Amino acid sequence: MRRTQAMAVLVVLLTGVLLLVAPAAPAQTGYPPGPCTTVTGSQHVGSVNIGDRFVVQLAPTCLFTPGIPVTVTVNGVDIPGKTAESGGFVLVDITVVSATQLSIDDPVLTPAFCGTNTVTASGASRTARGGVSTQTATFTLNCPPASGPGTAGVATPIAGRLSLTGANTMRFVAMALTLMVAGSLALVITRRRRATA
C-alpha cells in the first residue's frame, strides 16, 4: 500500500515537472510567421563613468533563437562572434577605457561618446513574426566636468550590474525544487525496500 502511494506521489511530481518544462503550444497563425509581434525594443541601462566595467543583457521581447549568431554593434562598430545564449539573450561586456574609447568583450575597441552610447543586437528569432528580432540598449557616459566654478558633478554609475529585462527564473527554481523532492522520495522508498528485504 505504501509503495503504491509513494509511486503515485512520484508520478504526480514528475508530471508537474514535465508541465513546467514543456513550452506552451504556439497559436496557429497560418504559415511560418511567428506569434510574437514586438520585433524591436529598447532599454536604457544607466549611467557610467570612465574606468567602469559592466555587462549589458540584450533580451528582446521576441527572444533570439539560442545558439544562433547575432549581429551586435556598439556605436556603429560590429562586434564579431556573438551568439544567443540559451535564454534567448546576448551579453555584451563593456569597459569604459576613456572618454573616447570603449573595450568590448576585451579584444574589440570602439569609439565612446560623452553622453549617449548605443548597443544594438539583431538576430534570428523563431518566435518573431518575420523571423528577426532587434534590441537596442543605450547608456550614458559621464565625462569629467570642466574645471571651474558652476560646473555640475558626475552622476552615480551603475557598474557591474546586468540590465533588468524581465527574465523570469521562477520556472527553473520550481523545477529544481520539484526534482529535489522527487529524488528525496525515491531515496526514501529505496531505503525502506532494503530495510524490509
Q: Is the pLDDT of residue 163 over 60?
A: no
Q: Is 183 helix (H, G, I), strand (E, B) or coil?
A: helix
Q: How far is CA 151 from the centre of its chain?
A: 38
pTM here is 0.56
> In the structure, what pLDDT confidence band is assigned to residue 16 with cuts at 50, 70 and 90?
low
CB atoms within 10 A of CB 38: 11
Give the residue among 87, 95, 93 at the shortest CA–CA distance from 59: 87
| Per-residue model confidence as pLDDT tens digits over 103-147 | 998 889 999 999 999 999 999 999 888 899 999 999 999 998 766
